[in-house]
Amino acid sequence: MSASVPPALHPFAPPCPKCKVPLIGIAGHGEGLCDSCASPFEFVLFPALLRPKTVTRVVRSIDGDATCFFHAQNQAAAVCDGCGRYVCAVCEVTGDEGRKLCPPCVSAGRKKSVVKADELVTYDAMAMNLALLPILMWPVTLLTAPMAMVVAIYGWRKPRSLVRPGCARLVWAILISALQMSAWLALGIALWLEK
């Protein structure tokens, strides 16, 4: 499968796991035998190793352009499908199935399904809706106030919206649901003392 070639001639060739001689001529993934020591091995090569080398031109950002998360002076060329960050042409890595990834997502080896911004669960909005909307039909707050409190506490450490990254809505949802629960508690105590 490969010839015994000095490592200097093929700096990117993966070495044999046993004898460390560079393995030339392997592509993709599969099994093989080393030509120098005849030991079997399995291999999976990173697709970028086989991709033709391209020269990337960096476009400097102008006021109002979206900029790269890692290089603030460069104009954004794509959005990372793994984390949603803007990346420039230098940082953009095209993965399998045409996915655009940033360097941290590539190094983390994110194989998760693509989460689109409109599919992201925003617990702050859910907690706020559970706390405020039932006020229109106030008896429902007996159930929704504790639910809003639980959702707000559960969503505290979950990823938030890229548009509204703060936790103010979670705090407001906790306060409103606490007020609703204390009002129900005061009403219950007042009705119990009345008997």
SS3 content of the chain, % helix, strand, coil (to 5): 40, 10, 50
Closest CA to 83 of 54, 108, 62: 108
Rounded to an integer, the average pLDDT of 83-90 is: 86
In the structure encoding, which two tokens stand for residue 126, read together?
A: 């859910």
Asked whether 29 and 9 are in contact (CB, 8 A), the reply is no
In the beta sheet, which residues pair with residue 31?
42
Burial of 185 (0-12, 13-18, 19+ CB in 10 A): exposed
| Per-residue pLDDT tens over the stretch 155-175 | 877 766 666 667 777 888 888
Written out in words, the top-level CATH class of the domain with range 54-115 is alpha beta
The pLDDT assigned to 25 comes to: 66
Locus of tokens 């030991």: 39
| Per-residue pLDDT tens over the stretch 111-157 | 554 555 555 667 777 787 788 877 777 787 888 888 888 888 888 77
> How is the chain split into domains, by residue range?
1-51, 54-115, 118-194
Model confidence band, residue 186 (pLDDT cutoffs 50, 70, 90): very high
Global pTM reads: 0.37
The pLDDT assigned to 7 comes to: 42
The pLDDT assigned to 91 comes to: 85
- Rounded distance, CA 65 to CA 57, Å? 17
- Rounded distance, CA 81 to CA 119, Å? 13
What pairing do the DSSP bridges indicate for beta strands 86-87 and 78-79?
antiparallel
